[in-house]
Chains A and B, each alone.
Chain A
Amino acid sequence: MSGPRARRQRAGLLFVAPAVLLVLGMFVLPVIVTAVMSFYDWSLLGQRTFVGLANYDRLLGDTSWWHSLGFTTLYTAIVTAALLVVGFALATAVRHRRRGVGLLRTAFVLPVVIGFATASYLTLWLMDDRIGVVPDLLRRLGVVDGSVSVFSHFPSALTVVVVLVVWKTVGLTMLLLMSGMQAISKDFYEAAQVDGASRARTFFSITLPLLRPTVAMVLVLTVIGSYLAFDQFFILTQGGPDNSTIPVVYLIYRAGFIDFNLGYSAAMSIGLMVILLILTTVQLVVLRSREDQ
């Protein structure tokens, strides 16, 4: 059990130890604590009593939970589709080295470093009826007459949030897709050119299939990110109009920090985590089987 090999193994363990500790402390432990909490009637203000599965029972019959889950799914579908389409367009535009391409890439990625809260407040003021640039512009162009309150109608409220999210995160999607595209060997494209394939044909028969692993990764990341959306809704729509834009995390926050009901809040968190685990597993399985084909 000694000798250089064992020593190397011990050294290796030592090197991963900090990472393991970090994951244990920052992820595994909190998940366990949350799971335990979900079995309690646990008030933020103090008292707790064990209630078994009561919180989960309530969750199944809670219409606002199901509404919220439906809305979050709709939002995720729209955002994911928009991010993929816009991300592809931008990645195609900046994939080759050309004059000024560096500037464009930087411009597209720049919003990624802004916090969601900051970006949301920025949007809130841009859209403000009295002092915002956008309503003023719309009025001057004659598109609308009178007051503009984008957050009073479900379609316009959701559109503003989706545009904000795409603007803020598409840079990352673009980067991932671009590096995926650049990893595709030039030989394929040359062969296609020799065969006389059109641009569209090249895209659908070469670029897209070879990008599948990258697209899958983008999908997984976007879906998880969208299901966890909170700041933009909390700040921009406040769940309105008429409670039509309440994402699941907003409900979790509301139960914990407005209703002071940590137990129920924890049960919803665990519920959402299970849903995300299933969704991610399905996506990864689909990816893998396709990759093997």
Chain B
Amino acid sequence: MHIPDGYLSPKTCGVFYAVMAPIWYLAARRLQKTLHAKEIPLLALSAAFTFVIMMFNIPIPGGSTGHMVGGVVAASVLGPWAAVISLSLALTIQAFLFGDGGITTLGANCFNMAFLMPFAGYYVFHIIAAGNPGQRRKWVALFIAGYVAMNIAALAVAIELGIQPIIASSPDGIPLYAPYPLSVTIPAMAASHLMFFGLVEAIGTAMIVSYVFKTNEAMLYKPAANPLKPLWIALIILIILTPIGLLAKGAAWGEWASEKLTAVLGYLPEGLKGLEGLWTSLMPDYNIPGFNSHAKSALGYVISAAIGSSIIVLIIYLAGRIWKKG
């Protein structure tokens, strides 16, 4: 579930950091409204709690055990927005201190496990447990919420890995990052998560949260308004937008050709042409005649990199001086 460094292309990593930035911001804003100064210890402790449950082996029927992510447990206890933050904190500690999941892929890992998972689980639970559910329906709702949330996260991982050969292969077809196409990653992730990891998450979620329901329901997060309201709003917006979708040109979402995907992700296949262009415009003398031969152009690269890095260090140095005085 944790994607390590090196599996995703830099563009993909950048996109997911960019997607997570507003989510983190929104989550922090929402928490500030409800928790104020209490938020720091509460977030830290709940992140620590999430980290600890990720370490547990959960026994499942048949004698085997597996690890759970705990995304839905966190969402049930803390609410989905606080779960985003505490799961992100737990994932950051795992990535930085214990090498579980990468640093460049942290944005993507947080998107899968700290955003998709708690929200999917939270809404699935509230749809099934709408109204006044009995204990059995709660248990079933939690089970399905854990199962669905885990599989949605796994599908996201499969898509992230599977698009790598499309967006980042060298001209002669050599995959540069995760090598399997979607036709392999989706069945592989689906099989392992539908059969095993989804079950672990489902059982873990149901047993932990239903236990809390029985013993101390006050510990669980209570949505202020109808928790399904945002879903209704999203549904209405979608219904309104559907006719527009029919009129719109272009391929359907997710059915892009590789050129379209390139355009959507801003990916530049051959080297980083944009940066090279920027470079040339910054240093017009870069292409001086006589620098065309291979060795000389290599020397040109080295010189321009040296000049560029010296300028940046100079700027950092000056900024450091000014900052120190200020």
Query: A and B: real partners?
Result: no
